Structure 1
Amino acid sequence: MTAKNDIASETYQPGSAQVQLNGPSDGPVFIFAHGAGADMDHAFMAQVASGLAETGIRVVRFNFPYMIRRAQEAKQFPPDRAPKLLAAFDEVIQQYATRPVVIGGKSMGGRMASLLTQNELVKGIACLGFPFHPPGKPEKFKGEHLATCDKPCLILQGERDTFGCRDEVMAMTLSSQVEVVYVPDGDHSFKPRKRSGYTEQDNLTRVVEQLSAFIWSMNHEK
């Protein structure tokens, strides 16, 4: 048997999406998608996955098709369009969800997760740094669907996130199913300023604690 925080020694490829596993095989499952610019092995993704695994959660990370293509061809390709991203996400859900699970992701990955609430295998959604709008362009809002979200959704948002800071998010109309937890002085990756008195590690620890509690709460619900 593998230790709780072990990363699987092999990378699976269910169709188009490479997959990496952390945590015990009998733990509640969290399917964790990466953001637009970094893949599933980015330090942020790995640290969050490892932290969740330490609490007994089975974390399934995967690469979207465009990210696989970047690695194969050593070229920079932009993210796929939403239908292709959602299809890849759904494929991983079908592969790894033997019962309803929590899905989520960093930035773009979280937004894609929030668009899959109609999937019967999705019990809850967790978004780490939701990209409500491009930096400096609040008019290009991408969170309209959160006003009618019908499943529990946890959003962990940096107070200074340029994709949607605390003051902006507090003024938004969100479903009662959406809970927003603000990360102290955090930017889009939850990094605080030195003068704030907080540290990046402190914030990541808070994020893992909040996320773990949410995933376990979904697992205990009937």
Structure 2
Amino acid sequence: MRAAEALLLTPGAGGGADHRTLVEIDDALSGRLPVRRHDFAYRRAGRRAPPHAPSVVAELLGDLPQIAADLGVSPGGLVIGGRSFGGRVCSMAVADGARAAGLVLLSYPLHPPERPERLRTEHFSLIGVPCLFVSGTRDPFATPEELSEHTRAITGPVTLRFIDGARHDPNTIAARQAIVEHLNCWLDTLGG
């Protein structure tokens, strides 16, 4: 495993890089390693709804080399991820060949709420980097049992952490602090 040299965080579909969870992670970890919160082009253009995921994945694949250069790290030393849609896009980018030291997937949207048959896992078998999934036990996009079952397809090491009682958006200070603690501990497990 490769040590994390920097962390790239992306927001959920309707949020921006200023989402409180991403800001709190940035504040907590910026003394440990460089952190960049990154809005996708649709957000920078003022749109709230994203285009289809494959076009955002292509955008991210094109942006990653420059983001790594801006942070002063090699692309392979960058841990990438984010909340919900942002994490999904990052996981799809890694499955499409993006180099990364690991994936951080917060509130991963395994399926739309109340639509467990519409899984977003077709790319999981192509992910070979260490992955951290952090989700609430009451997240309608993925139950702990569903995540435990479907992440077995990932070939890299998977760490699953659940926040008791939290929903899709961790709206309490305690939930966000738990995310930061889980992320800090997981970063310790990466090589270095």
Task: Tell me the TM-score range normalised by the shorter chain.
Answer: 0.7 to 0.9
**Helix, strand or coil at the partner of 1:122:** coil
- CA deviation after TM superposition for structure 1 residue 53, in Å: 1.6
| Cα distance between partner residues in 1 of 2:166 and 2:30 | 23
| Cα distance between partner residues in 2 of 1:119 and 1:148 | 9
Determine which structure has greater relative contact order: mean sequence separation of CA pairs < 8 Å that are 6+ residues apart, divided by chain length. Answer: 2
Distance 1:170 1:77, change over 3 A: closer
Quick check: which one's helix share is greater?
2
State which of 183, 186, 190 in structure 2 corresponds to 1:214: 186
Q: Does 1:122 align with 2:107?
A: no
| Cα distance between partner residues in 1 of 2:49 and 2:44 | 12
Q: Which amino acid is the alignment partner of residue 158 of structure 1?
A: G
Who is 1:145 aligned against?
123
Distance 1:201 1:63, change over 3 A: same
When the two chains are superposed, the root-mean-square deviation of aligned CA atoms in Å is 2.1
What CA deviation, in whole Å up to 9, does each residue of 1:168-219 have, x standing for no partner? 323435235222111121111234xxxxxxxx22221111111123234335
Who is 2:148 aligned against?
170
Who is 1:196 aligned against?
none
Contact 1:30 1:215 in 2 (8 A): no
Contact 1:149 1:178 in 2 (8 A): no
Who is 1:107 aligned against?
84
- CA deviation after TM superposition for structure 1 residue 88, in Å: 2.6
Instruction: Report the more deviating stretch, 165-174 or 179-188.
Output: 165-174
Q: Does 1:201 align with 2:170?
A: no
**Helix, strand or coil at the partner of 1:112:** helix
Contact 1:127 1:154 in 2 (8 A): yes
Who is 1:57 aligned against?
33
Q: Which amino acid is the alignment partner of residue 113 of structure 1?
A: C
- CA deviation after TM superposition for structure 1 residue 144, in Å: 3.0
Identity level (%): 27
Distance 1:214 1:43, change over 3 A: same
Who is 2:62 aligned against?
91
What CA deviation, in whole Å up to 9, does each residue of 1:57-89 have, x standing for no partner? 21111111111111xxxxx45202223211332
Contact 1:30 1:102 in 2 (8 A): yes
Contact 1:49 1:59 in 2 (8 A): yes
Contact 1:28 1:215 in 2 (8 A): no
Q: Which amino acid is the alignment partner of residue 31 of structure 1?
A: L
The number of aligned residues is: 180
**Helix, strand or coil at the partner of 2:162:** strand
Q: Equivalences for 1:181-196 in 2 at 5 Å?
A: 181-191=161-171
Q: Which amino acid is the alignment partner of residue 62 of structure 1?
A: H
Specify every segment of 5 or more residues in structure 1 that has no aligned partner in the other structure, as ranges: 1-26, 71-75, 192-199
Instruction: Report the more deviating stretch, 39-48 or 125-134.
Output: 39-48
Who is 1:28 aligned against?
5
- CA deviation after TM superposition for structure 1 residue 92, in Å: 3.3
Who is 1:131 aligned against?
109
Q: Which amino acid is the alignment partner of residue 64 of structure 2?
A: I
| TM-score, reference length from structure 1 | 0.73
Distance 1:133 1:47, change over 3 A: same
| Cα distance between partner residues in 2 of 1:41 and 1:64 | 12
State which of 156, 163, 170 in structure 1 corresponds to 2:134: 156
